[in-house]
Amino acid sequence: MERRRIDSIGENGELAPGPPWIFGWRGAPREAPENSLASLERAVGLGLDGVAYDVRACAGGELVLLADATLDRTTDGSGALAAHSPTELHELDAGSWFSAEFSGEPLAWLDSALALRGNAAGTHPQHLIELREPELLPALAAKLAERGQRLSVRVATTRRSVALEARDLGLAPLLGLERPTERDRAFARDEALMAIGARFQDWRLAGPTPWDCERFCFDVDDPHELLAACRTPFNALTTTEPRRALAIRALVHLAPEDRGGYPVRVGELAIGAQTHLASQGEWCGVWQVELELRNPFAFEVAVELSLVVRRGAFDAPALPQQARLGPGESVRRTFDLSGGSWSPGGDPLLAARFALPEADGGARPFLVLDAPLVRRRSVRLLDRALRLPLLRETPREPAASVTVRRHRRDLLAALENPGDLTDARVLVHLDGRRWTGARGLRLALPEDIDTRPGGVPFSVGIVGWRATPRGPRSVVRRWSGGLPDTLAAGEPGRLLGTS
């Protein structure tokens, strides 16, 4: 019985049934350039149920997949997308910024995205479109009507008026919320909205109230949150970790009675003076990592461990290679890890390959669960100013710093030393959202700042202009990951309350 069930999940877990349906946010943006056709095809090829992407219009009104209003970040072009004709856009390279493998990748057009073929599970992919310019709703409705085939398409917006306009045009609106409330639930019910979306943390605070529409959980990458989301009656989730999400949904399918925590648990890698690795950059270190493996299945498994390096250089010479665990059994180990990179982003993964022991002494792998080895800075917020030095991400970068302090229920962040940047402004990442100010920002702290285990996701930095031989260039300096708002920025630090 167990072997038949294992055979039914597919190579990546893609055949394990939903819900939740898994949507690749901007495709598979850790494996291919975001919002490119290559990224969408990679996501569909892995077996995801759908893809989520951003759409804007160029000068001719044609609909293009692009998150930003400008071309600078993800192409070799510059300036506003709306100022460029389709002919000009066809000449751009939208892949080299990601890696040489994708050199020459063109911008993706909506027509191409809607023409994606079936996924590894044999079904046509669903689409979640974030229309960055609401005035394009009629054009999108016309485009979908032109296709003549029935596609599952939801249109995401954070504005109620836009959601209602999309509904009236015959589209399926998804209203994104910062924190779903009873008032939002009543609005969705009364206006017959297709779906509501929010982050995992916001859904948790909203409580278990039932909804009369689809519930989407946004931006779920953390393995513990993915496991909780797959056990919760969400209709769908979006993620930038498609392989992990598929594996965890398959885990819930294979072990439906299990209510334990995530089976692969590792400690975070604290960044600080006590772990610093000299001469290797400020995002490096030497750590002793705590590892806990748990068998969530009702049968014996063999587990093989390996280190997956995404960026930088890491070494774990004494990493335990294998473990054999009976039903429900756990084991704890420690191992040494060293290395890193100059900049945040691309933390390594610990991959655990679960396998069925065979009679001949071998093992048959059936599921890979990974856990990120997150490098993290932390700071405890006080009612006096604290100086936070910003990272030197190249050997020649000068010192720069900001200050932070707590004033009752507010966070105050201020520019202290901009280093070599001019016209510098303060940036803050706080609990999953980002703000830009002038020389300072005042932000309301989360209500549970003093009680949330492990603190609140946080980073602070500055953005300004640096003189280069080719002219001024916009540069971000940061205290930790989480800034700017890109995948390459890495994980934010932690802001600890006074308790």
Domains and CATH numbers, the chain: 2-254 (3.20.20.190), 264-376 (2.60.40.2310), 378-496 (no CATH)
The pLDDT value recorded for residue 409 is 92
Of 139-153, 225-239, 240-254, 391-405, the poorest mean pLDDT is in: 139-153
Confidence class for position 287, pLDDT limits 50, 70, 90: very high
The average pLDDT across 409-432 equals 94
- As a whole-number percent, the residues of the chain with pLDDT over 90 amount to 73
CA atoms within 13 A on the CB side of 175: 25
Indicate whether 308 pLDDT > 70. Answer: yes
For residue 148, the model assigns a pLDDT of 61
Of residues 178 and 187, more confidently modeled: 187
CB 462 within 8 A of CB 400: yes
pLDDT for position 277: 63
The span from the CA of 19 to the CA of 6, in Å, is 18
Question: Are 481 and 345 in contact, with CB atoms under 8 Å apart?
Answer: yes
Query: Considering the chain, what is the average pLDDT of its residues?
Result: 91
**89-123 tens-digit pLDDT:** 999 999 999 999 999 999 999 999 999 987 765 67
Alpha carbon 247 to its chain's center: 16
pLDDT tens, residue by residue, 343-387 = 998 899 999 999 988 767 677 889 999 999 999 999 998 889 999
C-alpha torsion angle, residues 248, 252, 257, 263 (rounded to 10): -10
pLDDT digit string (tens) for 5-20? 777 788 888 888 889 9
The pLDDT of residue 1 is: 41
Whether 238 contacts 52, CB under 8 Å: yes
Q: Kindly tell me if the per-residue pLDDT of 413 is higher than 90.
A: yes
Q: How far apart are CA 457 and CA 91, in angstroms?
A: 40
Res 278 pLDDT > 60: no
pTM of structure: 0.90
Residue 30, phi then psi, degrees to nearest 5: -90, -10
In terms of pLDDT, which residue wins out, 72 or 273? 72
Give the whole-angstrom CA distance, residue 425 versus residue 441: 9
Which residue do the tokens 């009675």 mark?
Answer: 257
**In this predicted model, what pLDDT tens digit does every residue of 127-184 receive, in sequence order?**
999 999 999 999 999 999 887 667 899 999 999 999 999 999 999 999 999 889 999 9
**What's the pLDDT at 122?**
61
Neighbouring C-beta atoms of residue 332, cutoff 10 Å: 10
3-state helix, strand, coil in the chain (%, to 5): 20, 35, 45
Sign of the Cα torsion 424, 484, 262, 176 reads: positive
Tokens standing for residue 394 = 């190249």
Looking at residue 245, its pLDDT comes to 97
Q: How far apart are CA 238 and CA 220, in angstroms?
A: 6
Contact 46, 243 (CB under 8 A): yes
Tell me how far CA of residue 225 lies from CA of 214, 245, 316, 452, in angstroms: 19, 10, 27, 15
* Residue 265 tokens, joined: 């648990």
pLDDT at residue 241 in the model = 96
Residue 486 clears pLDDT 70, i.e. is over it? yes
Mean pLDDT of 384-391: 93
